[in-house]
Structure 1
Amino acid sequence: MAQNKHGKHGIGRRRLFTSAAAIGGTAALSAAGTRALAGPPAAAVDPKVFGPVAISASDAQYTDLVHGANQRYVGKPEAVYLVDSVDQVAGVVQKAVDGKKRLTVRSGGHCLEDWVFNADVQVVLDLSKLNKVYFDSESNAVAVETGAQLLDVYQLLYQAWGVTVPGGICHSVAAGGHVSGGGWGMLCRQLGLVSDYLYAVEVVVVGADGKVRTVKATREKDDPERDLWWAHAGGGGGNFGVVTRYWFRSPGATGDSPKELLPKPPSHVYLSAVSWPWADMTADRFKTLVQNYGAYFTANSGPDAPQLALASFLALTHKSAGQLGMVTQVDATVPGAREMLSDYLAAINKGLGLSQGALTRSMGEFGPMAEFAEPRKLPWLDATRYLALTNLNITDPTYRQEYKSSYMRANFPDAQAATLYKHLSRDDVTLPGGSVTLSSYGGKVNTIAPEAMAYPHREAFYKMMWMSLWHDAAEDDAYIAWNREFYRELYADTGGVPVPNDVTDGCYVNYPDNDLHDPQYNSSATPWHELYYRGNYPKLQQVKKRYDPTDFFRHAQSIRLPA
């Protein structure tokens, strides 16, 4: 049932712009851009190009539609339904309810666990063609359909109006579950999460009587459906119904032009990519590197820190990859931006005793970036495209994958730094696709109270993502075992998982991990839902009870109905 956080590579860009043009009519953008791409009557907004279409096992394209980006999970549903307008969704859901069919939802295909494709699923509702983006003058907000891919969203918003929403770097991640899980990216320290700009959400839900209805919930204080908006601002996908579209507007924004309703990204950024050789990386040097990173972001992530203009990813690969790498972006429009980047690189290298070099190998979410060994100044959209389209994790559709996550509220204790080095430098395995990426965080994200929206992780300064990528099913056991052993030992003092405390702050629901509800891997007293949602889980359960009382929308870690 997971409304996935990602989308399938290569789908929908041409159609998104074609649809947007249809929505806005044939007139050129006005000088103010106020009503360009604004929505006329519904019949013109939602032209029915082909849907809904049911694809079954007898159709040649079936095999391309029963898996997502993670090739470990392939389903065998009776049918996959493709839709391309919001009014088609309710009919597909009602048919599944009436037929007592287990239905799951794919907004793009990057759910990292088996929440969409598993043996119990009979119907998959594929929303990847539901991908229009336009200005809705009635709601005075930018509407984004759930299958719209992030890079397409960024390009339309920026090229038409000079604005953006601060989502992730992976170009084909779809809006669906990315937003509902509290999506974040390169601009989060300056601007916050994409869900922080969510004004409204439209959801197809199923009542206790089995009747399907479509609900629009806003953040307005007097909206009787407001709790449904709250739940979709970080409460995870696939829990309450089928999201068909989101509306975005900055809190407190005034005016009626899309140019005024969302934040503006920096016009230019500095982009840097450096590496260090594993061959010269001792345990002490490794400890220095990771603690320098942790020290920088724990010290420079307050709401008014000038360093919020800087975002950085440190890719800690298994040593068989040959290099460790770091990619950094700085808002070039802030005073002293270039010096800030130089100071940051000096802080990370302090006491290391190694010279940084070019990033010449793929690692984690980044491809080789040798041309950025010396920082380069680029237009923001060019840098965004570059980071999105050189991401092998997204551009290679044949990977098998395994993920885990953790939020960090403090620098690495010595014991954790030693455990990181131990598993990344193991000689008994050769795992060039294994890595842990440290990602900068905090800043504007942490200016919102943990209970103000469903997304609760408002006290972390950087985060961690275990990401293993490989092609051959014969390597499944080696990569999965390495991830599990590594993670469990790193958090051995807290039952094998990063329980919320002074150092760690739980896990990111958009990197789902079924091990979190398995007592073999989580022996703590902290259940999976507290790791994802902390104290917001009881309220999420009440929203579940109101909008999905029969638990029609469910997966391995969906919100449970209250007892």
Structure 2
Amino acid sequence: MAEKTALSAENRVGPGDPRYPSLSRGFNQRWIARPSEIMVVGTPEETREALAEALEKTSNGRDGRITVRSGGHCYEDFVCSDDVGVIIDVSPMCGMHYDEEKEAYCVEAGATNWHVYSHLYPATGLALPGGSCYSVGLGGHIIGGGFGLLSRQSGLTVDYLYAVEVAVVRDDHRVELVTAARDDDDPKKKALWWAHTGGGGGNFGVVTRFWFRDVPEPPSEVLLSALAWDWADFKDKSDFHALVTAFGTYFQEHQDPETPEGRLFAMLKLNHASNGQIGMTVQLDAGIEGAKEAMDHFIRTVDGGIRPTATEQRSTMGEHPPIARMKRPRRLPWLTATQSLNGSGENRCGKYKSAYIRKPFTDAQIDAMWDHLGRGKERFKPEKYRNPDSLIQIDSYGSAINDPELATATAVPQRDSILKMQYQVYWFPGDEKEKDYVDWIRQTFQAVFSATGGVPKTYSGKGDHNTDGCYINYPDGDLPGPEADGAAEPWPVLYYKGAYKALQQVKSDWDPHNVFRHHQSVRPKGR
């Protein structure tokens, strides 16, 4: 009698299965895979079995990559591409419970941000400080150092990670489930835990479970405001300069998480002029003393120094629909406010870039934004380039995140930034202007960071530049590779700074055959 496998027919999705078209793509419709099989798993043991079978099907990964899908939000083709042989989909594995033995909350890797907010919070009053997009899977979000609207108050998601369970491929090609913890006696296991505190997904194995200690309590209620300014009211760039400078200066000056100003989170949506509006969304813990005064002061600081008059949001802005009738801050239960912001956007194609910002923007950087957002540079004026879904999003950052000890205690080395940028452009599949859209985001990014080689150079205590690299959870396949011969820093430095060599050692120890790979994956030592 043949040995019973942990996988049933329902676990296996082939090209003839009705589920195949949905599960062979993710959030970004730009990338679609054609794997021989998608293995849908619901337990750690099913994951181990699926990985072992995937190794056989792909000749230990040589005949097609083995990739992992949880929420499916990978912005690049790391999970879905033509060279994928098998996708392991962990999305059904989304349970959570308190683990008495580990004295930690266990959250399975297929859970999404919304599972944490809608399941863990009602049961416990606790929540990870994750992102606003409800459908992002924790299997990728956590590993890259996920952040969100509560991070200035509570830090990054990885700052609470106590342990992680991973299906790994050993040197003899055996597949094992390994649990690695922050206080592990085995230095290699402790390093494996550390690599999952910011090392990025798709690098070391298939994560099945996370354990978190000291999970924070989100606010009972928050103040939420959503306002906008009409592009037509920006007659020259002086008001644009004033707006962007005031936003950056405020967060440079307010970096204490014990104060209401240090807990305030804001997103500034610098949409292309063809969108019609610039938007801003603000959230603050309403329970802290002085919250209302801090919210009012922030809005006056950003809005008060410009001639355009703030109005209601009317336009879709990137992944977020307009938030209506909230120009005046409203007091809402935290979960209700989170639902108000919880958008994934339409089923579109997209291209993304990112940057950590340590100080307010320079005049040259703001000039470049003005030009490429359609107000100064001839080619990108609204009548020449019309894509209202092109934007530079600037998120507040730092405060509780910027604990210098966490720069080495976790794999997220960027711990002194005040802002984080996310460049975005969207289009629908089949749009013949796709090349124009990708050209726009590439040229905008390069122009803003032209003084540092066209990328946001990392900071090492030398020089006076205001950047510190890129965010691995907003991957950008355009970044220079380690083999590039040029002045710009390569992606291993931009994402990981000095942590990359340690990540390579973890890769060599736990994925020596480089089974888990993509064109920006951590390379084993010597490769």
1:506 paired residue number: 469
Kindly provide the amino acid, as one letter, of the partner of residue 411 in structure 2. Answer: A
Moved over 2 A (4+): 48-52, 221-224, 302-306, 517-525
User: What is the CA-CA distance between 1:395 and the residue it aligns to?
Assistant: 4.4
Unpaired segments of 5 or more residues in structure 2? 1-5, 375-379, 460-464
Residue 282 of structure 2 is aligned to residue 328 of structure 1: yes
| Residue of structure 2 equivalent to 1:146 | 109
Matches within 5 A, 1:29-48: none
Classify the secondary structure of the residue corresponding to 1:557. Answer: coil
Is 1:275 aligned with 2:228? yes
The residue that corresponds to 1:456 in the other structure is 413
Residues 255-274 of structure 1, C-alpha deviation per residue, up to 9 Å, x if partnerless?
xxxxxxx2111100010001
Secondary structure in 1 aligned to 2:79? Answer: coil
2:244 corresponds to 1:295: no
Question: Does the C-alpha gap of structure 1 residues 512 and 477 become closer, same or farther in structure 2, counting only changes over 3 Å?
Answer: same
1:378 to 332, 350, 363: 332
Query: Are residues 157 and 223 of structure 1, via their aligned partners in 2, closer, same or farther at CA, if it must alter by over 3 Å?
Result: farther
Amino acid at match of 1:378: L
- Cα offsets for 1:410-456 (capped at 9, x unmatched): 01110001000000023120010000110010011011431111111
CA displacement 1:95-153 (0-9 Å, x = unmatched) = 12233143111112110000011111111101111111111112111111111011111
CA-CA distance at 1:158 after TM superposition: 1.5
Q: 1:352 aligns with which of 289, 292, 306?
A: 306
TM-score, structure 2 normalization:
0.92
Matched, 1:420 2:366: no
Indicate the SS of the match to 1:115: coil
Matched, 1:487 2:445: yes
Offset of 1:60 from its aligned partner? 2.4
Q: Does 1:286 align with 2:240?
A: yes
How has the CA–CA distance of structure 1 residues 514 and 213 changed in structure 2, closer, same or farther, with 3 Å as cutoff?
same
CA shift, 1:518, in A, is 5.4
The equivalent residue for 2:52 is: 94
Q: How does 1:193-212 map to 2 (within 5 A)?
A: 193-212=156-175
- C-alpha separation in 2, matches of 1:367 and 1:236: 28
Counterpart of 2:200?
A: 236
2:404–2:416 Cα contact (<8 Å) kept: no
Q: Does residue 429 of structure 1 match 2:388?
A: no
Is 1:467 the equivalent of 2:399? no
Counterpart Cα distance in 1 of 2:152 and 2:160: 14
Task: Report the alpha carbon displacement of residue 160 of structure 1 after superposing the two structures with TM.
Answer: 0.9
What's the RMSD between the two structures over aligned residues?
A: 1.7
Question: 1:166 maps to which residue?
Answer: 129
Helix, strand or coil for the counterpart of 1:372?
Answer: coil
The alignment's TM-score, normalised by the length of structure 1, stands at 0.86
Q: Secondary structure at the match of 2:209?
A: strand
1:532 aligns with 2:512: no
State whether structure 2 residue 522 is matched by structure 1 residue 559.
Answer: yes
**Residue in structure 1 matched with residue 462 of structure 2 by the alignment:** none
2:319 paired residue number: 365
| Matched position secondary structure for 1:549 | coil
SS of 2:442's equivalent? Answer: helix
1:438 maps to a residue whose letter is I
2:32 counterpart (63, 74, 80) = 74
Contact 2:404 2:415 in 1 (8 A): yes
The corresponding residue for 1:39 is none
**Structure 1 residue 402 corresponds to structure 2 residue 351:** yes
For structure 1, which segment, 289-298 or 58-67, has the greater mean C-alpha deviation from structure 2 after superposition? Answer: 58-67
Please state if 1:441 is matched with 2:397: yes
Question: Hey, what's the Cα distance between the residues in 2 that align with 1:437 and 1:314?
Answer: 6
Is the deviation greater in 341-350 or in 179-188? 341-350
Selected match of 1:496 from 444, 454, 460: 454
Question: 1-side partners of 2:160 and 2:389: how far apart?
Answer: 35
Post-superposition shift, 1:187? 0.5
Local SS of the residue matching 2:478: helix
Letter in 2 for 1:238: G
2:303 aligned with 1:340, yes or no?
no
Whole-Å separation in 2 of the counterparts to 1:379 and 1:478: 42
Quick one: percent identity of the two aligned structures? 42
- Quote the Cα distance in structure 2 between the aligned partners of 1:272 and 1:521: 44
- Among candidates 216, 220, 226, match of residue 263 of structure 1: 216
Q: Is the 8 A contact 2:482 2:491 kept in 1?
A: no
Judge conservation of contact 2:412–2:496 (CA < 8 Å) in 1: yes
CA distance in 2, matches of 1:340, 1:302: 13
Give the conservation status (yes or no) of the 8 Å contact 1:66–1:75: yes
Matched, 1:219 2:182: yes
**Within 1, Cα distance between the matches of 2:489 and 2:7?**
48
Question: CA offset at residue 223 of structure 1?
Answer: 4.3
Q: Cα offset for 1:162?
A: 0.9
Give per-residue Cα distances to partners, 1:292-329, cap 9 Å, x unaligned. Answer: 10100111124544412210000000000000000000
Alpha-carbon offset, residue 86 of structure 1: 1.3
Is residue 2:103 matched to residue 1:155? no
User: Is the CA contact (8 Å cut-off) linking 2:95 and 2:111 kept in structure 1?
Assistant: yes
Choose from 83, 87, 102 the match for 1:120: 83
Measured in 2, the distance between the counterparts of 1:56 and 1:173 equals 24
User: Number of aligned pairs?
Assistant: 500
CA distance in 2, matches of 1:309, 1:485: 34
Describe the SS at the equivalent of 1:122: strand
Q: Determine the C-alpha separation between the residues in 1 that align with 2:483 and 2:363.
A: 26
- CA deviation vs aligned residue, 1:493-518 (integer Å, no higher than 9, x gap): 21111011340010000000010135
Change (3 A) 1:331 1:248: same
> What amino acid is aligned across from residue 369 of structure 2 in structure 1?
L
The residue that corresponds to 2:377 in the other structure is: none
Equivalent residue for 1:20? none
